[in-house]
Chains A and B, each alone.
Chain A
C-alpha cells in the first residue's frame, strides 16, 4: 500500500486507535503547519549519507574567504567580523510561502552550510562527499579546491595542531578515544539569555553600550601611560568588531524586511498573505535592532540570533529555554491583549520548531555516524523554576508540548525540568508527547540538577536555576558568568577503552598503538584489585589527555577562531571587550562526556566473578579469548554473558563495582581543572556513539565481540540484560549519588504503548515518575513504540517516514538511522510498569 493510500484508508479515530500518531498529526495540524513541515529539506544524513538534493552552500565560503583575504591586516576578531558582515550583506536570502518567521544559514532551502575556516580535515571531506557538490559540479569543485587550497594549514584546527603536544594530538585524533574537535568552529554555544533575551535591549542598545565603553577606553589611552591601559588597545578593536557585526546583523534583518515588502507589494495577490508579509516586514525592522514587542517579534528575535550565531560557527546544539523567555509575550498576546488566538499562537510555536528543524550544516562522517538522522542535538529546555524557586511552567510550556505533537520533528526535542510543584496539566502534556512516540521530553529532576550545578561549579543557586541543556544532558546557567560559549565536551571519552586497555597493558590492537599507560601484563594479575587499579590508571589517563587537549583548544580559540557575534550578545564581553571564547570571566561548567560507560562495570564484574572469585577461568584463558575476539570461544563467551551479573538488576555484586568506578571518577574530576580552575565531572551518555565505536572497540569480558553494538549508553543497562523489571533498574541506578558522583546520568527506558494507553496508562506512568523522583534520579527518557511497529518500519520504511524514536540524548526518525542502531533500539527491554 502506498503512503498516501495508507493514510487515506483510515479516519482520525482509527489512526488514534492504531497509535499511528504521525497520521493523526497530519490530519490535525493547520494547513500552514502542514505545508511548512513538509517543505523542510531533510538535512540529517541517513546511515551517514546525505539525502538526494542536499547541496553544500558555496555562497558563505566564497564571501567569507573573499573578505578574509581582503582584510588580512586586521587582528583576528576584527577580521572575522568584517568577513561575516560581508556574508550577511551579500548572501542570498529567501522567504518560504506561508512562513511567518524567517532566517536560514544557507542561501537556499536545500543547502547545508560549510565553514572552511574550521578544519582542513573537514574541508577535504566536503570536497570528496558524493552527491552534495552543487551544480554545475565541475565549476563548484574548482571553487571548492581553491577555497581548500587557501585554508589548508590555516584553519583553527590546523593552527591548534601545531601547538598541541604531538603525542596527545596523535592519540586525540586517532578516533578511538575521543569525539569532536577542541574549537568553537564545531560544537555549540550557550547564550547569555539573561542579557539578551529578557526584552531589555536590542542590538542598537548594545551598540550604544559599546560606544560608552569605547569612549572611556579611548580617553584612557590618550591619558597617562601605565600598564592598566595596555590591554585597552586590543579591546577597542574587539569592540569595533562587535559593533560591525551588530550593524551587519541589523542590516541582514532589514534585507528580510525589504524582501517581505517587495513580495507583498509586487507579487502576492491574496490579501491575507499580503498582510502577513507586511507583518514580517515590520517584525524584521523591529528586531533584532530593538527589543521585541509581541510573540512573533520575540520568536523572530531569538531565531535571528540563533541563525546569526550559526553564520559564525557550526553550532550543533541549541541550549535554550523558549517557554521561559518567550512565555511573557505569549501571555500578553493570547491572554491579556487577545491579539492572537491560541490556534494562531500555536502556528507560530510550531513554525518556531520547524525553523530550527530546517537547520543544516555539513557534518564530517565521524559526526554523522555518531549523530544519525539529525543535524544536531537541539534539546530545548522546558519547565523548571524561576530564580526564586517558584514554578516557571506557563501557557507557552503547554503550547510547545502541543505543537511538538503536531509538527513531529526529531530536532529540536525537549528536556523537561520536573520539580514537585509542576501542575498535573503540564505533566499530562509531557506524557502525551511521550505516548505519541516522540521520545521526548526527556524528564529531568530539577531539584537534583540545581543542587548538582551548585555542587560541582559553585554557581549561585539563583543562577543555577536558570539552567538549560547545554547539549543533550548537561545543565548550564544562562547568566553573565555562568553560560558556556564553546563545546568543552570535546572531552568525550570512549570509555569502553578503559577496561580494554586495562586488559591489554594500554595497547590498542585496533589502531596498533600504545595508547594508555603500561599498567602491567593482565595475565599476571593475581587478584581483582590489581585489575581495578589498572582500570583506574587507564581512566585517569584518558580523562587527562582529553581535558588537556580541550583546555588548550579553549585558551587558543580567541586567537585561532574567535566569536565576534557571540561576544556582541554576551554581557561579559560587551563589558570587558574580551572575546567571549576566552575563559576570562567564566565560572566554568565543564564535563567529560562518557560514551560506552556501563561496559566497564559489567566487564569488571564478569572478571571478578568468573576469574577471581569462582576461578572458573584463568586470566590467561580469558585474555587469550579476548585477543581472539571470542572467536573459537563461543561457549565461554556465553558463560560471560549469561552467568556474570549485569548492571540494572538490583544486584549489589555488579552495582557496587559501578558505584566504586563512579566514585573513582568523581574523585579525579575534582583534580583535573578547566581554564577557569573549575572541575570536570563525568556525564555518562551516548549519542549514537555505541554504534560508531562498535568496530573500534575490541572484545570485552561482558561477552561483547568486536563489531557488536555497544550498550545504548549513560547508565542504561545493556539491551535485554535488565531482566528484573523497571523497579530493579531504578534501584540499581539510585545506588550512587546523582549530585556528587557525576554531572548527569542518562537512562533509556522502553515502555509498552499498549500498557500505557488511556487514563490508566497515565496513572501508571505517574507512579513510575514518583518513584524515579523519590530515588533521586536526574534523568529518564522513554521510547514508547512497540516492536511490531518498529519491525514493520524496517520492512516498509516508506510507510513509516514520520516514525520517531529516542536514540540517546536525541530523537531521530526511525527510518533515518542505520539498521544496526534500529536493531539496538528494538533489543532494548520493553518494561512493564
Chain B
C-alpha cells in the first residue's frame, strides 16, 4: 500500500514523525497559495491524485 510518508508533499512533525502535514501548491482563478492539512504517515495514499513519490 502506498502511504503518505512516501510522498514529497508529506512533511513530518519534528517531535512526532508519525504525523505531519500534507503541503500542496494550488493556483486558483484568483490567487496562488500553499495549503496544508494534517495527516498520519501511514495514511493510504493509493487513491490520492496529488501523490508524488519521494
Binding site for B on A (CB under 8 A): 35, 38-41, 53, 89-97, 107-110, 255, 258-259, 262-263, 266-267
Contacts and interface: CB of A to CB of B under 8 A. Distances in A.
Contacts of A41: 30
Nearest to A95: B34
B33 A96 contact: yes
B38 A94 contact: no
Nearest to A104: B33
B34 A94 contact: yes
Interface in B1-49: 11, 13, 21, 23, 25-26, 28-38
Contacts of A107: 35
Contacts of B35: 92-94, 107-108
Nearest to B31: A39
8 contacts: A89-B38, A93-B35, A93-B37, A95-B33, A255-B21, A262-B34, A263-B23, A267-B34
A97 B32 contact: yes
Contacts of B23: 259, 262-263, 266-267
A461 B41 CA distance: 58
Nearest to A39: B31
Given A109-B28, A110-B28, A262-B23, A97 B33 contact: yes
Contacts of A258: 11, 13, 21, 36
A58 to B, nearest CB: 13
A38 B36 contact: no
A96 B32 contact: yes
A96 B38 contact: no
A95 B26 CA distance: 10
Contacts of A96: 31-33
Interface residues of B, number: 17
Interface centre among B13, B23, B36 (most CB of A within 10 A): B36
A90 to B, nearest CB: 6
A259 B31 contact: no
A813 to B, nearest CB: 16
A53 B31 contact: no
Given A89-B38, A109-B28, A262-B21, 14 more contacts: A35-B31, A39-B31, A40-B30, A92-B36, A94-B33, A96-B32, A108-B26, A108-B28, A255-B36, A255-B38, A258-B13, A258-B36, A263-B34, A267-B34
A90 B43 CA distance: 15
Of the listed residues B23, B30, B31, B35, the one surrounded by the most CB atoms of chain A closer than 10 A to its CB is B31
Smallest CB-CB A-B distances: 4 pairs: A39-B31, A94-B35, A259-B36, A96-B33
A109 B11 contact: no
Interface of B: 11, 13, 21, 23, 25-26, 28-38
A87 to B, nearest CB: 12
Nearest to A89: B38
B36 A97 contact: no
B21 A259 contact: yes
A440 to B, nearest CB: 25
A94 B36 contact: yes
A267 B21 CA distance: 14
Contacts of A267: 23, 25, 34
Contacts of B25: 267
Contacts of A93: 35-37
A262 B38 contact: no
A266 B52 CA distance: 15
Contacts of B30: 38-41, 109-110
B11 A262 contact: yes
Contacts of B33: 94-97, 109
A409 to B, nearest CB: 15
A467 B7 CA distance: 52
Contacts of B37: 90-93
Contacts of B21: 255, 258-259, 262
A94 B33 CA distance: 6
Contacts of B32: 96-97
Contacts of A89: 38
Contact of A90 (B11, B26, B34, B38): B38
B38 A97 contact: no
A38 B28 CA distance: 12
A211 to B, nearest CB: 23
A417 B53 CA distance: 59
A833 B31 CA distance: 44
A53 B26 CA distance: 15
Contacts of A262: 11, 21, 23, 34, 36
A267 B25 CA distance: 9
A109 B31 contact: yes
A265 to B, nearest CB: 9
A3 to B, nearest CB: 15
A445 to B, nearest CB: 40
A353 to B, nearest CB: 17
Contacts of A40: 30
A259 to B, nearest CB: 4
B42 to A, nearest CB: 17
A110 B26 CA distance: 12
A39 B33 CA distance: 10
Contacts of A53: 29
B6 to A, nearest CB: 16
Contact of B34 (A39, A255, A259): A259
A266 B10 CA distance: 11
B12 to A, nearest CB: 11
B37 to A, nearest CB: 5
A831 B25 CA distance: 52
A53 B37 CA distance: 22
A326 B23 CA distance: 32
A255 B34 CA distance: 13
A780 to B, nearest CB: 36
A259 B13 CA distance: 11
Contacts of A109: 28, 30-31, 33
A410 B22 CA distance: 35
A136 to B, nearest CB: 13
